[in-house]
Structure 1
Amino acid sequence: MSTETRTETRTPIRTETGAPDFVRATSASYDAIAPAYTEAFPHGLGDRPVDHALVNAFAELVRATGTAPVADIGSGPGYVTAKLHALGVPVFGIDVSPRMVALARRAHPELRFHVGSMTSLDLPDETLGGVLALYSIIHVPDEHLPTVFAEFHRVLVPGGHVLLCFQTADEDDRMHLAERFGQEISLDYYWRTPETVAGHLTAAGLQVQARVRIEPPADAKLPRAFLLARKPESE
């Protein structure tokens, strides 16, 4: 048995019964490309000072709400999870891909990672001080976004924060990839305007506090958007 297999089975993995088709497709696709993806993006936020500053601000806001942990949803190889940990935030990672979780556990054995879907979080109500979702809602179809943001609202403590980051465009669009890093995959990508995503957050009972659009660097085609939202103290 390989080391990676031993790591994947170190703790029980919950299988979501009746998971939507897109969840299964996303899980299988990222399993296929996990090693290559991790090698291609070894540092997560990279050399992007504004991105780092926004994550730092999120960490400060979460620390101010108390000691409830943050869930890094779509944690991938775990590099941003580790950044939050280094900033003094209690944090754990959730990813839909068992192989990504295995790589994250190997790289960051001091942190907790488990397999799960943002459509049905295996967490009690009002137990998180924050939800971080960087480049993970891009694979969620429009009809499932209300469920995802309702889950974020459910698991947050009153006053808890959500920080989202996603590639954006001037109008909502969709792209399908059948191959990446030389591997056969089936991934849909949804490019949404900040206004579209903000509308879904508001409908879920989350108050949008900030929107930031970052123009693409020379090696990228799409701008990135950050949205910060908060669960009201009382409802």
Structure 2
Amino acid sequence: RGLTQAAHGTLFLPAPATLECLIGHPTYDGEHPFEFVTPTGAALVGALGAPAPAWPRMTPEATGWGAGTANPAFRPNLLRAVLGAPEVSAEAQGSFVLLETNLDDASGELIAYCIERLLIEGAKDAWATPITMKKGRPAVVLSALAQAPDAGRLTVTMLRESTSLGVRTTAVDRVVRPREMIEVETHYGTIPVKVAGGAFGPPQAKPELDACAARAVELGIPLREVILAATLAAAEVLRARGR
């Protein structure tokens, strides 16, 4: 509310740059003719912040204060920053079993097939990591993440489909960001986008690769152009939601 003096002359508050940075973030009137938010502060909020209607569920880890040079009579000109670890809900956690085996005599084709079979038969994830074994042999660690009830069955799959002579099992916990699928409109058509949210910072949007690839092939354009268009469209949808 009010006016401020800038390099370009007298400006209405909030300043144009401040308002641009705060697009998509809830704002309210400060009730006094004073510049409560500067363009620098708004840029930090716009780039790094996510709207929170109330104090988030978290464990405070550090806090700090900053003071402005102005000294208004109606309130302290102070800014508090709090660093905290988000509280992870029970729904976001899970207990799993990590299955691993070292392979130094399996071809790339066989390893790829093993990963495919593990995923088809219920592994939450499966992957191969390059390592060096005894006598300098190049090898891979074949890994799969399984829910506890599926661990025995997937161990059999790993032993049956690979050249492994044994599988290591380790109990692990996993924290998962809540996810949702949205559809966005682009000039290349409708593209599904996976959005990861929760109390872990700003949401992450990732266009579905297969859908983007199908549109790229159909239209004869580079895949990266479709991905970029869907990413920008998803950002606009999330901004409109105030996220």
TM-score of the alignment, normalized to the shorter chain, above 0.5? no
Larger-gyration structure (1/2): 2
TM-score, scaled to structure 1: 0.23
TM-score, scaled to structure 2: 0.22
Q: Tell which has more relative contact order, 1 or 2 (C-alpha 8 A, sep 6+).
A: 1
